[in-house]
Amino acid sequence: MSVDKNPKKITKMFDEISSYYDKMNNLISLGTHCLIKKIALENLAIKPYSNILDLCCGTGDFTKIINKIAPKSKIIGLDSSVEMLKLAKIKNPQKVFMYGDCTNLPFKENEFDYITIGFGLRNVKNRQKAISEIYRTLKTDGKFLHLDFGNHKFPSKIFDYIVKFMVKIHGLKFENYQYLIKSKNEYPEPNGLIKEFENEGFKLIKRKDFLFGVVSYQILQKQLK
């Protein structure tokens, strides 16, 4: 049976795990997620005074890194979990965060120079709607960074064991992390996702795989249709 991505359930799950989300990210990625996020964002080559939207911003990791590498830019973080947003605000007190759904963005056309989404799109039931909203709100030639799990080869299976082990030794609710494993294994591999992005009007300009392909980012540019 495929994983249930009912938006209400997803929001409830992230509200529930928010208090230990960062700690678990450090444990299950063996500390690598911060470095991968930093490399991906550096490769976006953000120009000063840009307008940036970070979708599915969670606890605000991207905002913190963007603020360091492009301090003169304006960043908005958007997420559908109030509890995750509270933590993002604590981490980035000066920054703007808003509650919202990435499949129905409260912004006009061509508003952002850059849109980022890290480990977020995988959780969205109507992925095509989210991609079309990213396209709509991005300026022509604007860039979109997508970072998430990558291919489903053997190293990705090792990751599943690491997650199960960490959840067990920390006595956490397995259901939420079972969702993580299932959603990872059902998520299209980067080649499939790139086709979805291209179908919506994006052109791939850069891709990099990490940890033997377990994690991957793609940078895409909005082309006129």
Q: Does 102 bind ligand SAM (CB under 6 A)?
A: yes
| 46/213 Cα distance (integer angstroms) | 25
* 24 Cβ contact partners less than 8 Å away, ≥ 6 residues apart: 17, 166, 167, 170, 172, 177
Total site size for ligand SAM, rule CB under 6 A: 21
Reading the block at residue 173, the tokens are 């609710």
Stretch that binds ligand SAM, among 119-127, 158-166, 187-195, 196-204 (CB under 6 A): 119-127
* Least distance to ligand SAM, CB of residue 6, Å: 10
* Least distance to ligand SAM, CB of residue 196, Å: 16
Closest among 205, 1, 220 to 121, alpha carbons compared: 220
**Do 201 and 222 touch, CB atoms closer than 8 A?**
yes
Q: Which residue has the tokens 């990490």?
A: 210
Q: Which residue has the tokens 């993580």?
A: 180
Q: Does 124 bind ligand SAM (CB under 6 A)?
A: yes
Q: Does 77 bind ligand SAM (CB under 6 A)?
A: no
* Least distance to ligand SAM, CB of residue 224, Å: 26
* Least distance to ligand SAM, CB of residue 185, Å: 15
Rule CB under 6 A: which residues touch ligand SAM?
Answer: 7, 10-11, 14, 56-58, 61-62, 79-81, 84, 101-103, 118-120, 123-124
